[in-house]
């Protein structure tokens, strides 16, 4: 789960990582009042779940409260990479002497949290890794032992020479590592970490991505979810315990299992069609889930046909067939449905479908070809 | 022989009294798996489908000499269940549970490594050596005893490929689902290494998907260490960037984890990658005719070589159906 910069900074503050003072708002008037209170120039920063906000004009420097009002008004009316800006962070503008990068990511290969530091801050770290990899130092932390102070110091020394800065940076690296582990993050990043004119380190930006699998033990973090920033269909799917990702095509897909769901999309494309979505109805397939799935798929006006591809294991084919019959009765979909069923309780499922005049094939390839033919 | 599970596998089911645990215990027993005990704290002294239930793994292992555990407990208890199984001394743990926090798994992984315990999963369908033992949730009837090893990050997609193999007359030595999470106990490489050593495995199917670089690592391993033929399939060619596709580990981040890169890496080491699942049996038949890795690599590099194998595939022991499919897939490959 992605969270906003202002939310990540609230977490940083709890872990005593220094941040410039700031407040979030969704009104230009309030933005002006914040600037009045700060009695200094401020930055107005769009709070959206995409990178490249600065380039898109979503970050503005404002020298007085009036400018702050107009900047907030402009940014709040913007949409960046398709996402409407609903909130801005108004934050103290600070003079930057130096910019660095500090981040913690989960490394799937070594199975360790990896800390990355670079004196080249303020730019995309992937770009730094590509063009000047020698400017990045990486260190895999033993997850059982945790990060030791000497290790953090060594990383800090890669970035700074002045030991006053090294000490501050080592402390921040340690705290960022704690954020990563204690919040169950899959990414915790400060880019840039800046040195101010008076020699203080500050996290000017903050990015945290949380592991969805761990949210059950962090109710406080789950509450940070910004429903307005999420795709409404994806949220509806989540509520029904389905995995759904919207795509651009016309063939609506309803599949059990993530791998098979991806393979089904690929097969649609292979035979010249375009999938409308990724949808995994998951392991236990109650008829209610099938109804919820069909509701979401048919809500997309581009969809010309619904394709079911079910390989029964834990999922019972008859449960899915029941769901299809009920969903058709309830929703009266405007588009045809084609079905593939193989595996657990397949025969019973066919009987259920036949009782309402529907057929099912047992081949994945056949059902995809059928869907493409009927979608035209 | 097979890999990781066989007739000597003695299974303890963790979470045996839960809905999934109870149902799959019955299914595994029906398949002939030796299930010696179950564990649910507080239910010790009872029985489930004739299997004695214990309060702890320690008790269960001490009294029944279980050497393998399979975990069906909810995600918030799964990590503890893994530690408990390892502490009790089992050598193989299969964790079916989906939704285990990744940072916990980092610690689990290094702890198990220090103990010498193998973990398969989490978020996986388990492992089956057809005719010998099934430890997991896969539908048993689609499998057939044979010589093809299957390793996959997916569940139902593995069933699809196994179904295609069985229909084509190609049985399996062992099929392993290693799991769809970003931090898993057993990698492609661990399985490839075991299949390479297993005298009953003659060829391997590797089923990957977007996210991470496990497939690229596998390709490196195949290049250096494997003599047996490997055929690949990669799901998610049409997946968009930045979106988690069901599995926690199936996400393209930035420019890494793309299906195209994985296919390229596999092709470069002589591993043909099927465009669609039904091509897998034909590709295996074709490769098994080419005896050495070098020949297989050349065959893939220049499309002239598969033409030779087309004729051979017709005579292949796997029957006409496969040969026909193979011819079709080779013709297609040549057109490209």
What ipTM was assigned to the predicted interfaces of this complex? Answer: 0.91
Q: Give the domain ranges of chain A.
A: 20-92, 96-222, 231-375
Distance CA B159, CA B177 (A): 10
Q: Phi/psi of residue A261, each to 5°?
A: -65, -40
In a domain, B133, yes or no: no
Domain that holds residue B103: 1-123
**Mean pLDDT in residue range A323-344:** 93
Q: Decide if B245 and A257 are in contact by the 8 Å CB cutoff.
A: no
Residue B144 belongs to some domain of the structure: yes
Question: In this structure, are residues B265 and B257 in contact, taking their beta carbons and an 8 Å threshold?
Answer: no
Confidence of residue A33 (pLDDT cuts 50, 70, 90): very high
**Domain shared by B197 and B251, yes or no:** yes
A265: which chain B residues are within 8 Å (Cβ-Cβ)? 236, 238-239
Q: What does the pLDDT read at residue B229?
A: 96
Please report whether residue B150 resides in a domain.
yes
What's phi and psi for A238, nearest 5 deg? -60, -45
Distance from CA of B77 to the nearest CA of A (A): 12
Say if the Cβ atoms of A262 and B182 lie within 8 Å: no
Beta-carbon contacts below 8 Å between A and B: 173
- Cβ-Cβ contacts under 8 Å, B156 against chain A: 255-257, 259-260, 311, 313, 315
User: B186 and B78, same structural domain?
Assistant: no
Do B238 and A275 lie within an 8 Å CB cutoff? yes
Instruction: For residue A255, give the chain B residue with the closest CA.
Output: B156
pLDDT reported for residue B302 = 56
Query: What is the CATH number assigned to the segment(s) A231-375?
Result: 3.40.50.261
State which H helix or E strand residue A301 sits in: none
The Cα–Cα gap between B245 and B236 comes to 8
Q: Sign of the C-alpha dihedral, residues B90, B94, B100, B102?
A: positive
- Looking at residue B307, its pLDDT comes to 38
Below-70 pLDDT ranges, chain B: 291, 301-336
Provide the pLDDT for residue A153.
98
Position B319 scores a pLDDT of 41
**Cβ contact A53:A237 at 8 Å:** no
What pLDDT score does B290 carry?
79
- Minimal Cβ distance to A108: which of B182, B233, B236: B182
- Those residues whose C-beta lies under 8 Å from the C-beta of residue B19, and which sit 6 or more positions away, are none
**Residue B80 and residue B151 in one domain:** no
Q: Mutation target for B interface from A237, A259, A267, A309: give the one with most B CBs within 10 A.
A: A259
Give A144's contacts in chain B (Cβ within 8 Å): 107, 110-111
Rounded Cα distance, A291 and A278, in Å: 16
CATH of A96-222, one of 3.40.50.300, 3.30.470.20, 3.40.630.10, 3.40.630.30: 3.30.470.20
Among B268, B246, B259, smallest CA distance to B212 is for: B259
Percent of chain A with pLDDT over 90: 84
Q: Are residues B210 and B288 in the same domain?
A: yes
pLDDT band, very low/low/confident/very high, at A61 (cuts 50, 70, 90): very high
Chain A CA closest to residue B277: A263
H-state helical runs in chain A: 5-14, 28-38, 65-76, 125-131, 149-159, 163-182, 219-222, 232-239, 258-270, 287-298, 317-331, 346-354, 364-375
What is the Cα–Cα distance from A98 to A86, expressed in whole angstroms? 31
For the record, the structure tokens of A211 come out as: 């592991």
In this complex, is the C-beta atom of A270 within 8 Å of any C-beta atom belonging to chain B? Answer: yes
- Reply yes or no on whether the pLDDT at A238 is more than 90: no
Q: Is the pLDDT assigned to residue A5 strictly greater than 60?
A: yes
Residues of A belonging to the active site: 101, 189
Please state the rounded mean pLDDT for residues A205-233: 90
Query: Does B183 sit within 8 Å of A106, measured CB to CB?
Result: yes
CATH no. of A20-92: 3.30.1490.20
Domain count, chain B: 2
Q: How many residues appear in chain A?
A: 376
Residue A284 pLDDT level (bands cut at 50, 70, 90): low
Catalytic residues of B: 247
Chain A positions touching B212 (Cβ under 8 A) are 108-109
Give the separation between CA B165 and CA B146, rounded to whole angstroms.
Answer: 10
Residue B39 belongs to a domain: yes
More confident: B290 or A62? A62
Q: How far is B101 from chain A (nearest CA, A)?
A: 5
Do residue B107 and residue A214 have CB atoms under 8 angstroms apart?
Answer: no
What strands, in cross-sheet order, belong to the sheet with B47-48? B47-48, B51-54, B35-39, B11-14, B68-71, B92-95, B118-120
Residues forming a β-bridge with A307: A253, A338
B151 vs B174: CA distance, rounded Å: 8
Element spanning B284, H or E:
helix B280-289
Query: If DSSP codes are grouped into helix, strand and coil, which group holds residue A58?
Result: coil
CATH of the domain at B201: 3.40.50.261
Sign of the alpha-carbon torsion through A238, A241, A245, A248: negative
Contacts of A314 in chain B (CB under 8 A): 20, 137
Beta-carbon contacts of B3 under 8 Å, excluding residues fewer than 6 positions away, are: B129, B149, B173, B174, B176, B191, B194, B195, B198, B201
């Amino acid at each position: 789960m992605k969270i906003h910069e202002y939310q990540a900074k609230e977490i940083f503050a709890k872990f005593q990582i220094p941040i410039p003072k700031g407040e979030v708002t969704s009104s230009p008037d309030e933005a002006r009042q914040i600037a009045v209170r700060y009695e200094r120039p401020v930055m107005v920063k769009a709070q959206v779940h995409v990178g490249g906000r600065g380039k898109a004009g979503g970050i503005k420097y404002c020298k007085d409260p009036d400018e702050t009002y107009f900047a907030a008004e402009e940014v709040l009316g913007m949409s960046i990479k398709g996402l409407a800006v609903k909130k801005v962070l108004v934050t103290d503008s600070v003079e930057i002497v130096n910019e660095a990068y500090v981040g913690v990511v989960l490394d799937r290969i070594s199975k360790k949290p990896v800390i990355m530091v670079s004196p080249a801050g303020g730019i995309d770290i992937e770009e730094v890794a590509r063009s000047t990899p020698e400017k990045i130092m990486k260190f895999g932390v033993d997850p059982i032992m945790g990060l030791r102070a000497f290790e953090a110091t060594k990383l800090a020394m890669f970035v700074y020479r002045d030991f006053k800065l090294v000490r501050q940076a080592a402390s921040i690296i340690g705290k960022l590592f704690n954020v990563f582990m204690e919040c169950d993050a899959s990414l915790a990043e400060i880019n840039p970490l800046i040195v101010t004119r008076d020699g203080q380190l500050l996290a000017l930006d903050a990015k945290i991505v949380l592991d969805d699998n761990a949210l059950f033990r962090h109710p406080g973090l789950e509450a940070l979810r910004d429903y307005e920033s999420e795709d409404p269909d994806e949220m509806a799917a989540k509520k029904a315990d389905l995995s759904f990702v919207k795509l651009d095509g016309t063939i609506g897909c309803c599949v059990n299992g993530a791998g098979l769901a991806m393979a089904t999309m690929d097969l649609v494309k292979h035979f010249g069609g375009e999938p409308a979505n990724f949808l995994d109805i998951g392991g236990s397939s109650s008829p209610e889930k099938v109804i919820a799935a069909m509701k979401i798929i048919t809500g997309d006006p581009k969809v010309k046909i619904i394709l079911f591809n079910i390989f029964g294991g834990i999922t019972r084919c008859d449960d899915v067939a029941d769901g299809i019959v009920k969903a058709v009765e309830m929703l009266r979909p405007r588009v045809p449905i084609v079905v593939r069923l193989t595996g657990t309780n397949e025969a019973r499922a066919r009987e259920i479908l036949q009782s309402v005049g529907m057929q099912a094939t047992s081949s994945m390839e056949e059902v995809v070809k059928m869907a493409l033919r009927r979608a035209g | 022989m097979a890999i990781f599970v066989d007739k000597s596998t003695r299974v303890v089911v963790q979470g045996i009294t839960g809905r999934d645990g109870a149902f799959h215990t019955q299914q595994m027993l029906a398949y002939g798996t030796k299930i010696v005990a179950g564990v649910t704290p507080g239910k010790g002294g009872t029985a489930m489908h004739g299997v004695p239930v214990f309060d702890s793994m320690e008790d269960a292992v001490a009294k029944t000499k279980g050497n393998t555990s399979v975990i069906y407990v909810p995600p918030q208890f799964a990590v503890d269940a893994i530690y408990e199984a390892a502490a009790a001394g089992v050598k193989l743990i299969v964790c079916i549970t989906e939704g285990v926090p990744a940072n916990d798994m980092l610690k689990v992984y290094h702890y198990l490594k220090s103990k010498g315990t193998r973990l398969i999963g989490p978020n996986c369908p388990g492992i089956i050596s057809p005719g010998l033992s099934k430890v997991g949730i896969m539908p048993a009837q689609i499998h057939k005893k044979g010589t093809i090893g299957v390793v996959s990050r997916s569940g139902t997609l593995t069933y699809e490929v196994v179904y295609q193999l069985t229909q084509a007359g190609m049985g399996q030595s062992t099929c392993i689902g290693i799991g769809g999470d970003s931090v898993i106990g057993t990698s492609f490489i661990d399985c490839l290494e075991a299949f390479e050593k297993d005298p009953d495995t003659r060829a391997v199917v590797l089923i990957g998907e977007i996210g991470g670089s496990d497939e690229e690592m596998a390709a490196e391993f195949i290049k250096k260490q494997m003599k047996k033929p490997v055929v690949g399939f990669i799901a998610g060619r049409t997946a968009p960037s930045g979106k988690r596709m069901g599995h926690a580990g199936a996400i393209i981040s930035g420019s890494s984890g793309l299906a195209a890169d994985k296919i390229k890496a596999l092709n470069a080491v002589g591993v043909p990658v099927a465009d669609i699942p039904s091509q897998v049996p034909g590709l295996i038949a074709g490769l098994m005719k080419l005896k050495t890795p070098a020949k297989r690599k050349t065959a893939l590099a220049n499309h002239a070589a598969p033409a030779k194998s087309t004729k051979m595939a017709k005579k292949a022991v796997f029957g006409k159906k496969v040969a026909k499919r193979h011819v079709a897939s080779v013709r297609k490959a040549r057109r490209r």
